[in-house]
Amino acid sequence: MTNILVINAGSSSLKYQLIDIDQEQIIAKGICERIGIAKSVLSYKPANGESFEKESPMKTHEDAIKLVLDVLTDKEIGVISDMSSIRAVGHRVLHGGEKYSAPVLIDDHVLEAIEECIPLGPLHNPANLMGIRGCMAAMPGVPMVAVFDTAWGQTMPAEAYMYALPYEAYTEYKVRRYGFHGTSHRYVSGQAVKKLVALGMKKEETRVITCHLGNGSSLSAVKGGKCMDTSMGLTPLEGVPMGTRCGSIDPAIIPYLMGRTGMNTQEIDAYMNKKSGMLGVSGVSSDFRDLAAATKQGNERAALARKMFCYKVRQYIGAYAATLGGVDAIVMTAGVAENDAYIREMILQGLEYLGMDMDWEFNLSCPRATDLEITKPTSKVHVYVIPTDEEMTIARDTAELALNA
Ligand code: AMP
C-alpha cells in the first residue's frame, strides 16, 4: 500500500483524503471545519467504517493536521498503523500565476512563489500556505507537492488570455486570464482524448470541449490535450453564471451599481460572488436540485435562472467550437452536469448542427455520475459524461513527482 494524503485547505477549513495510490482507492476522507474559530469540528469517514465527528479545538491548520493524523492512526477507528506509512502529501493550490504550468515538488522557492501570488488569490493562497506549512510542521521530511488550479491555463495563446486593457495592466499588475478548475479539466479532457484515440484519432488532432458544471462552473477548449481557452479569468468570477456568482457581465454595471447603491468595493465583490447567479436570479437557492423542484412548482424565476445558465453554457460551446475549428467530443462533468439530465438536455438541444446525434432517451435514463456516452454510436461528435476526480488526479501527480524522483 502506497499512501498519499491529499489536502485542500481553505481559510477556516481543511479537506483531506488518504488514498492508496497502488489500488487508486480512497482509504479515508473528511474535513476539519471552523479552524481558528470556536467549536472546531473534525469529521472522518473511513472507506470501510462508520462516519465520525468530533468537536475539538483547532487554533491553526497545524492543529487540524495533527488531529487528522491522530484519527488516521487511531488504534480503534484509524486506517493506518503509523504516520510513516504516508509517503507524500499533495496540496491543491489555487494560484501559481504564470510561474507554474505543472505540479511541482514544494521547496522554499515554491513557497515564495505561492506567497507572491497572494494578490491574485487573496482568499485561497494564504489558506493553501497555512495547509502546507501545517503539514510540514506535523510531518517533517515527508515530500509535498503543489498542484495548481491555474497551471492548466498556461498553454493558452496570448490572444485568448489577454484582456484588451492598456498593456501595463498585464505587465505591471499581472491582469490576464488564468482559468480555474484546471485539475478537473485536465483529468476529464485526458479521459476523453483516450476515448477518441481508441476510436482511431491522432491525439494531436483531438478537439474537446470540457464543461465543468458544479457549484462553480467553467468550460475549456482543448486541442491535442492542451488548453486553448477557458471561461474563468483573472478570478473564478468570469464565464457562465454559477450557483452564487454572476459570471461575465457588462463591466460598466459595476461602477453604475456602486454609484446608484453606495456599495463599496468589498460589497460589490460580495454582491457578484455570493448573492448573484442562480441564487440571485431565482431568489430560491444556489443549488440546482432546489431550482428544479421550484421550477416544477411553477416558480418562474427559478425556471429563468436555469434557462440563463443553459443558454450561456451553450454559447460557450459554440464559441469554443469556433476556437478549435470544430469539435470531436464534449465532456459533461461535476455535480450539475454529472447528475442533472434535464440541464444537459437544455444545454445540448440545438447544438445538433455541430454534428452530434444525441440519444435523448438514454440521456434521461442513464445512471448518474457514471462514465458513459450519451450520443448515438454513429454520432460524429461524442458527448461523454465523465465524473471528475480532482483528489485522485492530485494523488497521481503527487506520487509521480514525490515517489519517482
Ligand atoms: P460540485 O461543485 O461539483 O460539488 O457540484 C455541486 C452542485 O451540484 C450542487 O450545488 C448542486 O447544484 C448540483 N447537484 C448535485 N447533485 C445533483 C442532482 N442530483 N441534480 C441536480 N443537481 C445536482
Using an 8 Å Cβ cutoff, are 385 and 338 in contact?
yes
| Complete edge-to-edge strand list for the sheet that includes strand 329-333 | 226-230, 217-223, 207-213, 329-333, 382-385, 372-373
Nearest CA to ligand 1 atom 4: 335
Please list the pLDDT of the chain residue by residue as tens digits (405 residues): 899 999 999 888 999 999 999 999 999 999 999 999 999 999 999 998 999 999 999 999 999 999 999 999 999 999 999 889 999 999 999 999 999 999 999 999 999 999 999 999 888 999 999 999 999 999 999 999 999 999 999 999 999 999 999 999 999 999 999 999 999 999 999 999 999 999 999 999 999 999 999 999 999 999 999 999 999 999 999 999 999 999 999 999 999 999 999 999 999 999 999 999 999 999 999 999 999 999 999 999 999 999 999 999 999 999 999 999 999 999 999 999 999 999 999 999 999 999 999 999 999 999 998 999 999 999 999 999 999 999 999 999 999 999 976
Residue 10: predicted pLDDT: 87
Rounded CA gap, 67 and 363, in Å?
Answer: 43
- At 157, list the grid cell: 495563446
Does the pTM of the predicted model rise above 0.85?
yes
Cα(169) to ligand 1 centroid in Å equals 36
Give the Cα separation of 206 and 46 in Å (integer). Answer: 39
Q: CB-based contacts of 30: which residues, under 8 Å, 6+ apart?
A: 15, 16, 42, 43, 44, 45, 68, 71
Distance 338 CA to ligand 1 centre (A): 8
Q: How many CB atoms lie within 10 A of CB 238?
A: 20
DSSP-derived letter for residue 248 is S
Select from 310, 339, 370 the residue to mutate for testing ligand 1; criterion: most ligand atoms less than 8 Å from CB.
339
Residue 343 CA: which ligand 1 atom is closest?
A: 21
**Does the domain at residues 3-148 carry the CATH identifier 3.30.420.40?**
yes
Question: What is the pLDDT at residue 405?
Answer: 66
3-state DSSP assignment of residue 91? strand
Angle, vertex CA 167, rays to CA 166 and CA 172, nearest 5? 105
Report how far residue 167's alpha carbon sits from residue 159's, in angstroms, rounded to the nearest whole number. 13
- Give the CATH number of domain 200-385: 3.30.420.40
> Would you please indicate which residues are annotated as catalytic (active-site) residues?
149
DSSP string, 181-211: -HHHHHHHHHHHHHHHHHTT--GGG-EEEEE
Query: Ligand 1 atom 23: the closest Cα is on which residue?
Result: 336
For residue 386, give the nearest of 251, 210, 262, 266 by alpha carbon.
210
Q: How many helices (H) and strands (E) does the chain have?
A: 15, 14
Residues 135, 130: Cα–Cα separation, whole Å: 8
DSSP string, 261-328: H---HHHHHHHHHHS-HHHHHHSS-S-HHHHHHHHHTT-HHHHHHHHHHHHHHHHHHHHHHHHHTS-S
Distance 290 CA to ligand 1 centre (A): 10
- Residues 262 and 246: their CA atoms lie apart, in Å, by 19
- CATH 3.30.420.40 location in the chain: 3-148, 200-385
Report the C-alpha gap between 303 and 297 in whole angstroms.
10
What was the pLDDT predicted at 123?
86
Q: What angle do CA 277, 383, 378 make, to 5 degrees?
A: 155
Compute, in angstroms, the gap from residue 147 CA to the centroid of ligand 1.
24
**Amino acid identity, position 352:** E
Q: Ligand 1: residues whose CB is within 6 Å?
A: 214-215, 243, 287-289, 334-336, 339-340
- Within 10 Å of residue 83's Cβ, how many Cβ atoms? 15
